[in-house]
Amino acid sequence: MEGGGYIEVATTRPETMLGDTAVAVHPEDERYRELVGRFALLPLVKEERKSLKGDRVSRRIPIIADRRVKKEFGTGAVKVTPAHDPLDFEIGKEHHLPFVKVIDERGIINENGGDFEGLERFKAREEVVKKLKELGLLSKVEKIRHSVGKCYRCKSTVEPLVSVQWFFKVSDKKIREPSLKVVLEGIEREEERLERVEFIRGEAITLRILKEGEILLFEEVEEIAGRREDGTYYLYYQGEPREVFNEFYAKSKVLNGRRGNYEVIKEGHTLKILRDGEVIETFSGEVSVDVGGRILGIRREERPVKVKETSKVNFIPKNWENFYKPWIENLKDWCISRQIWWGHRIPVWYCKDCKKENVFSDEDFENIYDKLIFNLIADGKIREEFSVEEVVKVLNSKNFLKPHMSNLDFYREYVYRGQNVGISESNLFLYLNNYSKNYQYLKEKKKWRFLLRCKACGSTNLKREEDVLDTWFSSALWPFGVFKEDERRKLFPTDLLITGFDIIFFWVARMIFTSLYFYKVEPFKDVYIHALIRDEFGRKMSKTLGNVIDPLDIIEKYGADSLRFTLASLTVQGRDIRLSEKSFESAKHFANKLWNASRFVIMNTPKDLLSELPSVSDLKTEDRWIITLLNETVREVNESLKSYEFSRACQKLYDFVWNNFCDWYIEMVKGRVRERDLGALYTLNYVLDKVLRLLHPFMPFITEEIWDNMPTKDEESLALKEYPTFIPQEVFKEDKERVEELKDFISTARYLRSVIGLKPSQRVKLYYRGAEKIVEGFEETVKELARLSELIPTQERPKNTVAGFGKSFSLYLEVPQSIDLKALKENYKRRERKVLEELRRVEEKLSNEEFLKKAPKEVVEKNKRIREELRGELEKIRSFLEVLDAN
């Protein structure tokens, strides 16, 4: 200490003491309170060191107080090296300490290190300790464990040191606030747009409005329909409304008898009726407008519309907002300098004479040639010294962003729109030679040099900044580089960005704030954060660990479709995927199942099926059942995809194809197929066709291959076919219920077979009671699927039979010879126990006054129904057990 005494500090990096410019203590630390404001004399260093700014720095350094110092750590006093430690850097800035750099970029002590100059940093550490010991200034050496930043490539310890870098000032409110708002609540904006409307006159235009499955209106008209850019349709009626409006007349008092120009606009599920441009009626339901037949004419109109839109970025899953939010809230200025050899160079030139930093852009030049050449240099496409041939060659070569055009075309189209940019060797040569003072010809090299002039002193003695831009900064510039203004208006904001969570900071956030700042719109509406794929033990896949699954190996073993389907079905929002090779097995089996089912359909379908298509009336109950289930699957898959629930979509498709289409429908119609029943063949093809379309995004190859063999296919690829959507007319509730009952009946019969140990080849008689309606018309199907010799209605249990029960029926299966019924008895006892348990729970519920009072009516009713079912079942089981016991 100045004036005698010592202050003791602890450090893990003794060599940095050469750059210390203060000692810090906690403001409330009693031990050091007296010392704050006094000065210490730093040992080992020269009397004068040099700060970054070039000032002289004495070895007389202040004792300062700072809250960031922890009293209980070390000695409670910490040496401050602002130039070589991140926290010290912060403290140094706050207390206006000088920054003394003692280690250079090569890791060697510089001239500030005095006697230690020229030593490598680790060697210097040893030497410093040795010297301190010699001087008696070393109190003690302790082992301490702490983490140190390492280079991810060469593993050498990272040296923290200050240097001059370029920053992008994003800590500003103008950037931070909108970036938060756009994600958390959305930002209102108003836009004026020219809406282009097409009016189409067609031969046959069908207008259909359905509400809850009921047809409100179905008309075929010959009128003018219109289609907007966004794909919504218009019907347009000029003058007096025609017959087609009779329906509306009845429903709408407003419309009644009024003349005017009527328009019908379909927007999703709503249909608007406009008179003279004003909405007078809105219908909602499944609306479809189809232009069929020949189009007789198209007229186009443009009308200005003011559109109020909300800029909103949705993270999917939503939780990631919480990841984004704190980062934006603590946004620090973004260091965009990178000291690497590739990347966009920073467009800054330093004047060697007056030291000014010059930022140039092509706007600094008036002539188009100057602008072009400047851009080529700034982009690194040509060097600062260049030949005319090089320029022309570059301008004529393919553009990176738009490979179908040359660089010159790109400049013409995207950068200097409307300007006549013609360039050739001769006119460029003429220009450089005669018309500009901005170029210097270097005779011996036969090259030109563009003379950039310092904006302060006019000197041409400039040196370009060596640093390049952070790649993420370049990425953030993407929307500003690839769109022409009219393209941008159409394509921006984009719908969806898919990326990993670790990219939220790197790119997502940065694209959001640059877009909001420069374009006032969000860059994308949805950000889907995909799952990370881990190994079967939950570890990240890494090459060093050797737990990486190579997709190419998987494709080799299981097929590309299995890989794709598996990944999709394991993708549950917000959850990482644990992937082991086993996972692919099931998808492979599914693909195989689909293949075989398709084989069955295709080999049984006559080539000319299309020419004799049946009408809906030719379809049977089971056809309408499977079509209903298909339709429900279509709805669920669409909903799932819309909300990015890929796993659910896969599950629904898997279940439908395997458990309903293959295991039940195909089995049911095999008899009809043998007889070339058109309804069955049609349904098989209809369902398979839809299934292929539905599955195509998940299993593109196999579906395309099967599609190619379908009789219904045409020249177009399956990939281009319309994706199925829910069709409300194709819901057949009664047929669905009937077949579900039938399935229950057959399953019960099968269960009885299995329980008495019948082999599939053994056909026996089945008696039934209370199932006349279920069986009616399905006798052959039941006999086939339950492997029966006869199917006989009865009122009582015949001898030598075992009984089974459904919700509304009893079955009695013939027992061919003396079979041990022990297993059966055990099964029924187990079922009795289960039913009793369930019954107990339901009865408990139903005897609870509060439940009856407060629960919704449907729930109470449902529980009553369940109770009745269970009671019935219990009764049947018990009576059957009695019979068995008697035997």
Partner RNA sequence: AGGCGCGUAGCUCAGUUGGGAGAGCGCCGCCCUUACAAGGCGGAGGUCGGGGGUUCGAAUCCCCCCGUGCCUACCA
In the list 606, 757, 777, 798, the residue contacting RNA (rule: CB under 7 A) is 757
Q: How far is the CB of 623 from RNA (least distance, A)?
A: 16
Task: Note whether 766 binds RNA by CB under 7 A.
Answer: no
Closer CB to RNA, 46 or 578, in the complex: 578
- For RNA, which residue of 216, 468, 870, 877 counts as binding (CB under 7 A)? 870
- Binding residues among 580-599 for RNA as defined by CB under 7 A: 582-583, 585-586, 588-589, 591-593, 596-597, 599
Among 107, 658, 815, 872, binds RNA (CB under 7 A): 658
DSSP-assigned beta bridge partners for residue 749: none
CA atoms of 237 and 219, how far apart (whole Å): 14
Nearer to RNA, 341 or 537 (CB): 537
- Counting residues that bind RNA (by CB under 7 A) gives 84
> 3-state class of 629 per DSSP?
helix
Burial of 419 (0-12, 13-18, 19+ CB in 10 A): exposed
Considering the rule CB under 7 A, would residue 761 count as an interface residue with RNA? yes
Which burial class, exposed, middle or buried, applies to 775 when counting CB atoms under 10 A from its CB (0-12, 13-18, 19+)? buried
For residue 861, the minimal CB distance to RNA (Å) is 10
Interatomic CA distance for residues 631 and 730, integer angstroms: 7
Q: Which is nearer to RNA, 188 or 837 (CB)?
A: 837
Q: Which residues 502-541 are close enough to bind RNA by CB under 7 A?
A: 536, 538-540
The region of 366-374, 414-422, 645-653, 734-742 touching RNA under the rule CB under 7 A is: 645-653
How many Å apart are CA 125 and CA 109, to the nearest integer? 10
Q: How far apart are CA 788 and CA 365, in angstroms?
A: 93
Among 39, 410, 600, 726, binds RNA (CB under 7 A): 600
Give the β-pairing of 224-228 and 187-211. antiparallel
Distance CA 75, CA 139 (A): 11
Nearer to RNA, 432 or 764 (CB): 764
Say how far apart CA 161 and CA 18 lie, in whole Å: 13
Least spacing, CB of residue 564 vs RNA, in Å? 15
Is the CB of residue 286 less than 8 Å from the CB of residue 315? no
Q: Could you write out the three-class secondary structure of 28-52? A: CCHHHHHHCCCEEECCCCCCEEECC
Q: Is 871 in the site for RNA (CB under 7 A)?
A: no
Strand, coil or helix: what is 729? helix
Report, in Å, the least distance between residue 466 CB and RNA.
Answer: 27
Q: Where are the beta strands (DSSP E) in 352-483?
A: 357-359, 385-386, 439-442, 447-450, 462-464, 468-469
862 binds RNA (CB under 7 A): yes
With CB under 7 A as the contact rule, the residue among 53, 67, 106, 146 that binds RNA is 146
In whole angstroms, the minimum distance from the beta carbon of 409 to RNA comes to 43
Least Cβ distance, residue 389 to RNA (angstroms): 49
**Does the footprint of RNA cover residue 147 (CB under 7 A)?**
yes
The C-alpha torsion from 700 through 701 and 706 to 711, rounded to 10°, is: 70
Query: 157 or 717: whose CB is closer to RNA?
Result: 157
The candidate with the shortest Cα–Cα distance to 1, out of 47, 42, 44, is: 42
Q: Spell out, one character per residue from 534 to 573, where the chain touches RNA: x when CB under 7 A holds, - when not.
A: --x-xxx-----------------------------x-x-
Cis ω for the linkage preceding 614 (within 30 of 0): no
Question: Which of 165, 426, 461, 754 is close enough to bind RNA by CB under 7 A?
Answer: 754
Nearer to RNA, 435 or 595 (CB): 595
Q: State in angstroms the smallest separation of the CB of 544 from RNA.
A: 14
DSSP-derived letter for residue 720 is: G
70 binds RNA (CB under 7 A): yes
Smallest separation (angstroms) from RNA to the CB of 415: 38
Q: How far is the CB of 789 from RNA (least distance, A)?
A: 15
Nearest residue (CB) to RNA, 590 versus 732? 590
Which residue is listed with tokens 């109109």?
Answer: 301
Closest CB to RNA among 419 and 754? 754
In the bound state with RNA, the residue whose beta carbon lies nearer, of 249 and 595, is 595
Beta carbons of 67 and 78 less than 8 angstroms apart: no
Give bridge partners of residue 198 from the DSSP assignment. 227, 300
Considering only residues 313 to 372 of the shown chain, the ones binding RNA according to CB under 7 A are 319, 322-323
Helix (H) or strand (E) holding 410: helix 407-410
Q: Is 257 helix (H, G, I), strand (E, B) or coil?
A: coil
437 CB burial (10 A radius; 0-12, 13-18, 19+): exposed
**β-strands 77-80, 22-25 pairing:** antiparallel
In order, the DSSP letters of 564-592 are HHHHHHH--TT-PEE--TTHHHHHHHHHH
Among 11, 436, 474, 800, binds RNA (CB under 7 A): 11
Q: Does residue 574 interact with RNA by CB under 7 A?
A: yes
Site residues for RNA, 83-142, by CB under 7 A, read: 86-87
CA distance 740 to 835: 22
Judge contact between 580 and 554, C-beta under 8 A: no
Shortest spacing between CB 49 and RNA, in angstroms: 21
Q: Which CB, 70 or 294, lies closer to RNA?
A: 70
Q: How far is the CB of 674 from RNA (least distance, A)?
A: 9
Mind giving me the DSSP string for 307-347? EEEEE--EEESGGGHHHHHHHHHT---EE-EE-SSSSPBP-
Please state the closest distance from residue 773 (CB atom) to RNA, in A: 20
> Which residues from 713-752 bind RNA, rule CB under 7 A?
747, 750-751
Point out which span in 234-242, 396-404, 727-735, 753-761 binds RNA (CB under 7 A). Answer: 753-761
Closer to RNA by CB, 218 or 327: give it: 327
Q: What gap in Å lies between CA 755 and CA 773, rounded to an integer?
A: 26
Residue closer to RNA by CB (options 242, 578) is 578
- Least distance from RNA to the Cβ atom of residue 723, Å: 19
- Positive or negative torsion for Cα 27, 31, 32, 35: positive
Residue 221 or 855 having the CB closest to RNA:
855
Task: List the x/- string, 280-319, binding to RNA by CB under 7 A.
Answer: ---------------------------------------x
- How far apart are the C-alpha atoms of 562 and 767, rounded to whole Å? 45
73 binds RNA (CB under 7 A): yes
Residue 680 found at the interface with RNA (CB under 7 A)? no
Distance (Å, whole) CA 876 – CA 885: 14
Q: Which of residues 427-446 bind RNA (CB under 7 A)?
A: none
Please select the residue that binds RNA; options are 78, 128, 739, 742, rule is CB under 7 A.
78
Under rule CB under 7 A, residue 79 binds RNA? yes
Please name the residue that has the structure tokens 């896949």: 541
C-beta closer to RNA: residue 283 or 665: 665
Sequence-distant (6+) residues with CB within 8 A of 617 are: none
Task: Show the site string, 611-640: x = touches RNA by CB under 7 A, - = not.
Answer: -----------------------------x
* Residue of 169, 799, 856, 885 that binds RNA (CB under 7 A): 856
Should residue 200 be labelled a site residue for RNA when binding is judged by CB under 7 A?
A: no
Given phi > 0 = left and psi -120 to 50 = alpha, else beta, which region is 797?
beta
Stretch that binds RNA, among 100-108, 247-255, 468-476, 641-649 (CB under 7 A): 641-649
Biggest distance spanned by C-alpha atoms of the chain: 121
3-state SS assignment for residue 240: coil
- Examine residue 851 and tell whether it contacts RNA (CB under 7 A): yes
Q: Which is nearer to RNA, 174 or 589 (CB)?
A: 589
Instruction: Please return the burial class of 650, using the count of CB atoms within 10 Å of its CB with bins 0-12, 13-18 and 19+.
Output: buried
